[in-house]
């Protein structure tokens, strides 16, 4: 969203007033703004090095698929184990003593 000319003029007046009133504060704020700009530029560079969105989406899709398959295998193993335990229990209970 762009500033209107009136808003920009008011902000410049406030900035000049603050610089005149407290130069140390103005220097600290400028230093802070410079660090923020460098951080944002670093983030942009890192984002440029990332694989394209499609590559990231495919990686996420593969990761989700692996998790789902692993979960289903775990559920199947648990059900099979319970089934074996039930059959053993019925077999032992059916034996005459």
DSSP state of 4: P
25: which residues sit within 8 A by CB, 6+ positions away?
18
What's residue 46's pLDDT? 61
Looking at the domain assignment, is residue 56 inside a domain?
Answer: no
- How many domains in the chain? 2
Point out the residues of the chain with pLDDT beneath 50.
none
Structure confidence at residue 90 (pLDDT): 76
44 and 69 together in one domain: no
Structural domain contains residue 73: yes
Do both 37 and 68 map to the same domain? no
Contact (CB, 8 A) for 61 and 69: no
Rounded distance between C-alpha atoms, residue 81 and residue 88, angstroms: 11
| Residue 50 DSSP class | S
The Cα 43–Cα 84 span in angstroms is 55
> What per-residue confidence (pLDDT) applies to 78?
96
Quote the mean pLDDT of the chain.
Answer: 82
Residue 58 lies in a domain: no
Residue 16 lies in a domain: yes
Domain extent for 92? 64-97
Q: Cα(17)–Cα(90) distance, rounded to whole angstroms? A: 89
pLDDT of the residue at 50: 59
């Amino acid at each position: 969203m762009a500033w209107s000319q009136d808003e920009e003029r008011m902000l410049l007046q406030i900035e000049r007033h603050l610089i005149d009133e407290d130069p140390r504060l103005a220097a600290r704020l400028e230093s802070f703004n410079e660090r923020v700009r460098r951080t944002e530029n670093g983030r942009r560079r890192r984002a440029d090095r990332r694989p394209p969105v499609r590559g990231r989406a495919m990686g996420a899709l593969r990761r989700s698929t692996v998790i789902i398959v692993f979960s289903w295998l775990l559920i199947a193993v648990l059900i099979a184990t319970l089934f074996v335990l039930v059959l053993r229990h019925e077999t032992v209970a059916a034996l005459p003593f």
